[in-house]
Amino acid sequence: MSDILLAGYEPFGEFERNPARQLAIRLDGDRIGDATVIGREFPVVFDRLRPELEAAVDEHDPEIVCGLGLAAGRNALSLERVGINLRDTGGIPDNDDREPVDQPAVHDGPNAYFTTLPVRSMKEAMLEAGVPTTLSTDAGTHACNNFLYLTRHLAETSDRAFRAGFVHVPFSHEQAAARDDGEPSLALEAMRDGLLAGLEEAVGTP
């Protein structure tokens, strides 16, 4: 038996809803092979993420930790490959109104970490499920990158053995319709199907 910690970011900034949170909560309790999804909401706050992440990993001892975050303007699920040791909000504050500029996520940490999820085969599985999916080189420098970097750093510097990755999600159709700007979006159910297919591939790939 094993667990998948699926961490969806809360709403932030101008976004009153976040499909990342909706997906994590919706998938909570789902079974993928022998694994159970533990879906949890996480704060879009730089300084709160690390202790809350460590507490969740200690509680659930997951085999996989996968973060979810909103990437407005994208039209597909995006599997992130690299987290970098940099915090820079680009003028968009976190939910504690902090705006770090050119700060490291971890002092004296390595410059970057690669995801340890099999993102290329996950992409193929997600495409076969009929869900638009791409590979993305890095997760930016805001909270989503912070999650990927800190998760990988925790795995590398502690006795907790788990694989980690991050998936950016687009607007849901409902969210895009409410904004009325003609922005790219995906149906929430399609995103759910894609995540299930990708995570099933990850569970089955050592």
Question: Hey, which residues are catalytic here?
Answer: 80
- Please report, in angstroms and rounded to a whole number, the separation of the first and last CA atoms in the chain: 15
List Cα–Cα distances, 19 to 24, 60, 171, 201, in angstroms: 8, 23, 7, 22
Handedness of CA 76, 77, 78, 83 (dihedral sign): positive
Q: Which residues pair with 191 in a beta bridge?
A: none
List Cα–Cα distances, 107 to 44, 49, 116, in angstroms: 20, 16, 22
φ and ψ at residue 193, rounded to 5 degrees? -60, -40
- Which amino acid makes up residue 61? D
> Could you give the CA distance from residue 127 to residue 142 in angstroms, rounded to a whole number?
27
Q: What is the DSSP letter of 180?
A: T
